[in-house]
Amino acid sequence: MSNALDIARSRRALLRSALVVGGGALAASCTPRAARIVSAPAVPVPQPPVRPDPIPAAVATRPQAPRGVDPNIFKEAIAALDRHSMRIPNHDKIAIADFTAPSHRPRFHVINLGSGESHSVLVSHGSGSDPGHTGFLQRFSNVPGSNATSEGAYLLSEYYVGQHDRSQRLDGLDPTNDLARDRAIVIHGAWYANPEMIARHGKLGRSQGCFALPEAQRDDVFAMLGQGRMIYSSRLA
């Protein structure tokens, strides 16, 4: 009897050992798999390439002042073109009236901003800007009836035929010249802006505030500038 009990106890002990070992083996086999799942590296998600914002054309390549054009006036003109860019359709060419110079010098510059080429002609200033007729512009004004030249940026607008034959209307874009259309400030040709005036008097005659050009060069300037471009009128202090 004793031997039978001992054999039974031994069998039960062997069975318990087998269960413990089997459970340990099961746990050992699951733990690494669970660990592999938790610690598996995340698959990277491809991101679209970052593209820089486009650089505005006016900023991407700053044009340089052509020979014969004052760099400071030119810089002012380019800043005005940037400032009024939404109101000026065509940015390839501009004109600068540099009234720092006396009237006997070509001071109306038509500039191709792409090629850097420029063409300069004579231009008169208003009698109200030079009451003593010195040949130098003394002051600007935007006041109706002042007969003075105004400073600032202008938009070249429509053509018409008037007192001085073919002429072109202007719209002032700044507070210093925003009455240009009301004041009938335009571009036109005039006998008193012809080179012969310089030969006789050493200076041009004066306008009523308009940009008066030599009669023989008016149509050339109109052809170079057209409509929808900017004229910038200024002088250095």
- What does pTM read for this prediction? 0.74
- Residue 232's nearest CA partner among 106, 64, 93 is 93
d(CA 230, CA 173): 10
* Per-residue pLDDT reduced to its tens digit, 122-147: 999 999 999 999 999 999 999 999 99
d(CA 196, CA 156): 28
194 by DSSP, 3-state: which?
coil
d(CA 221, CA 189): 10
Classified by CATH at the fold level, domain 59-234 comes out as L,D-transpeptidase catalytic domain-like (2.40.440)
Q: Which residues pair with 187 in a beta bridge?
A: 168, 211
Classify residue 137 as exposed, middle or buried by CB count within 10 Å of its CB (0-12, 13-18, 19+).
buried
* Per-residue pLDDT reduced to its tens digit, 36-86: 434 444 445 455 444 444 434 444 467 899 999 999 999 999 999 999 999
Q: Which residues contact 119 (CB under 8 A, 6 or more apart)?
A: 109, 110, 220, 224
